[in-house]
Amino acid sequence: MVQSQESLLELFNLLDLRNQQLGWERYDWRDLDSHALLLPQGATFGRRTLRYVVRGTDLLAPAVVHRLLRVRKTIVPTAFYHVGMAHLLWERLTGEKPVGRDPLEEACSEAFAARLDAAHLCWDHPYSAHASSWKQNNETESPSSCLHHTTRLGELFLRAGASRRRQDWTDAGISAANALMTYHNWTTHDDGSVTVSYYPFTRDETINTATDAAMMLSLIPQAVREPHVQRRIDGVIRTVLSEQQGDGSWYYCTSRHYERTSDRKFIDNHHTAQVLQALGKIAATGTLEAHVAEDVRASIARGLQFYLDRFYDSSGRGSYFPTARSRPAHIVGYTEGIAAVYWAFRCGAIRDACGTRQYAEKVSAMMANAIKMVDRRTGDVACTRVLGRCYHIQSLRWGSGPLMEAIVYTLLLRKEIAIGS
């Protein structure tokens, strides 16, 4: 079950070559949601039936359905993040900068070019159906910044800028942080907890994106980080710790969000992993007070135990929901989960040597199942498995990009465990 370093490096290179061949514009896991046939308007019996037929056919023959419906390939901004982070982590793993082609430079340049026309760097979600139930009163003049895309690309710029000593990239990351602070709705509650909206024109309290926002703000160089930024980081941490359930889990949104909306509560794989990953990254920056950092590490330890026990079986096969083993995890469940384990180790939430090795073995098992979604003939990566079949649409954001990142995280975890043992 443990993949050799050589086999993982070979797979990384295969995916990288395939990405060069296909380019940035791709089909995506959620692109059909915004197609006219599947939008919720006009929910007549005929339209509902048509949507079921389209959905069912898409699960069996996605590439054919996408072509027949003339779905346009597009670029989802976090594709730049996953590819860029994969190559940035690769440089950390090998200690080598690229000679000739520079994939990190390509990812950052393309991301910068794809930004919205706004005073501060930010990116939109390309699919209109995303978070549609929350977009009710668009009275703001702010650009349609998407918290998920803007935080992750801001993180890429800040990390890449620090690694390469590129002030222009660091400035881009700081600009993205200013977009978060300026365009999105931040709320400070009576108990000192803080939340931030997914979009400038929503009032949601989504936990994973808020944690990502705090993580990105924690990467702003200390010399230029203003006190009010730290207060927002601390307030989001307070929210995340208070919203953790007794078993170590988190719902998608806060309890306040569910009290004032009719949204259905749920706990799922990749969003849980994103919370854990972001908490680990924040704790690793050293920006938290010592007692808060210790509380965060304890929270990560409890959350990671829940995550690995409830979403993965003994063979490392993942599920989308903790109570529905019949619904397989998407590729991003495995990849975000592997990243979460790495950052839990990196920040000190996984401490004893025996536990560390057990987690490393779990990561290898998760990677083995993720690799099953790769078409070795082409280098394409499936988004998920449906009815035992791989759902292949050559996705970058929900396929090869995250897997490249997870491969390097797996190798980094093994290397750093070996150094520390």
pTM: 0.94
Contact 356, 1 (CB under 8 A): no
pLDDT at residue 137 greater than cutoff 80: no
Burial 73-106 (b: 16+ CB within 10 A, else e): bbbbbbbbbbbbbbbbbbbebeeeeeeeeebbbb
Q: Map tokens 């924040």 to a residue.
A: 282
- Categorise residue 76: left if φ over 0, alpha if ψ from -120 to 50, beta otherwise: beta
Q: How far apart are the first and last CA of the chain?
A: 22
Q: Which residues contact 317 (CB under 8 A, 6 or more apart)?
A: 328, 329, 369
What number is the average pLDDT over the span 345-373? 89
pLDDT at 254: 97
- The closest of 193, 174, 268 to 233, measured between CA atoms, is 193
Instruction: Kindly give the residue spans of alpha helices, DSSP state H, lying in 165-266.
Output: 167-183, 207-218, 227-243, 255-260
Query: What number of other Cβ atoms are within 10 A of residue 325's Cβ?
Result: 15
pLDDT in tens, 314-325: 999 999 999 767
CATH pick for 5-35+71-420 out of 3.40.50.1000, 1.50.10.10, 3.30.420.40, 2.40.110.10: 1.50.10.10
Contact 332, 398 (CB under 8 A): yes
d(C-alpha 165, C-alpha 14), whole Å? 29
Q: What value does the CA radius of gyration of the chain take, rounded to a whole number of Å?
A: 20
- Name which residue leads in pLDDT, 170 or 40: 170
The mean pLDDT of the chain is: 92
Q: What value, to the nearest 5°, has the Cα angle with vertex 204 and ends 181 and 198?
A: 45
d(C-alpha 421, C-alpha 404), whole Å? 26
Here the tokens at position 76 are 């989802």
Domain extent listing, the chain: 5-35+71-420, 36-70
Contact 152, 160 (CB under 8 A): no
The dihedral through the CA atoms of 311, 313, 316, 318 has a sign that is negative
- The closest of 245, 219, 204, 199 to 88, measured between CA atoms, is 219
User: 353 falls in which pLDDT band (50, 70, 90)?
Assistant: low
Q: How many CA atoms lie within 13 A of 132 on its CB side?
A: 11
pLDDT in tens, 261-270: 989 999 999 9
pLDDT in tens, 284-328: 999 999 999 999 999 999 999 999 999 999 999 999 999 767 799
d(C-alpha 310, C-alpha 358), whole Å? 16
pLDDT at 135: 67
pLDDT at 354: 66
pLDDT in tens, 195-229: 999 999 999 999 999 999 999 999 999 889 989 99
Contact 174, 220 (CB under 8 A): yes
Q: What value, to the nearest 5°, has the Cα angle with vertex 257 and ends 255 and 263?
A: 105
pLDDT in tens, 91-135: 999 998 887 899 999 999 999 999 999 999 999 988 876 666 676
pLDDT at residue 396 greater than cutoff 70: yes
Which of 131-135, 182-186, 341-345 has the weakest average pLDDT? 131-135
Q: Residue type for 48, please?
A: R
Instruction: Give 46-54 contacts, CB < 8 A, sequence gap 24+.
Output: none
Contact 231, 288 (CB under 8 A): no
pLDDT at 61: 87
pLDDT at 43: 59
What number is the average pLDDT over the span 143-153? 96
Beta strands in 32-132 (DSSP E): none
pLDDT in tens, 235-257: 999 999 999 999 999 999 999 99
d(C-alpha 71, C-alpha 190), whole Å? 46
User: 136 falls in which pLDDT band (50, 70, 90)?
Assistant: low
Q: Which residues contact 7 (CB under 8 A, 6 or more apart)?
A: none
Query: Given the DSSP bridges, would you call strands 186-188 and 194-196 parallel, antiparallel or unpaired?
Result: antiparallel
d(C-alpha 154, C-alpha 156), whole Å? 5
